Amino acid sequence: MAKKKFYVEANETIDDCLNRMAAEGYTPVRRMEEPVLKEKGKDVEVAYQRIVFEGKRS
């Protein structure tokens, strides 16, 4: 794989995620935030933003 997505988990910091990427041999090339949606009755609202790094094989 040339590119891979790495998600920052709830129990880790951004530095932990970047270290995990480096351990697998990937370099971060892009940072994104994805909304995690939650249903509340008939409405849908954003529960939190999930941080995602796209890594390129180094």
Domain span holding position 46: 3-57
User: Could you give the CA distance from residue 51 to residue 14 in angstroms, rounded to a whole number?
Assistant: 8
Total tally of structural domains belonging to the chain: 1
Token pair listed for 36: 């995690």
Nearest alpha carbon to residue 9 among 44, 18, 58, 24:
18
pLDDT at 9: 94
Q: Is the pLDDT of residue 1 over 90?
A: no
Question: What global pTM score does this model have?
Answer: 0.83
Instruction: Output the pLDDT for position 17.
Output: 96
Query: What does each C-alpha distance from 42 to 4, 16, 36, 45, 48 come to in angstroms?
Result: 35, 37, 17, 10, 18
For 17-52, what is each residue's pLDDT tens digit?
A: 999 999 999 999 999 999 999 999 999 999 999 999
Question: pLDDT band for position 58 (50/70/90)?
Answer: confident
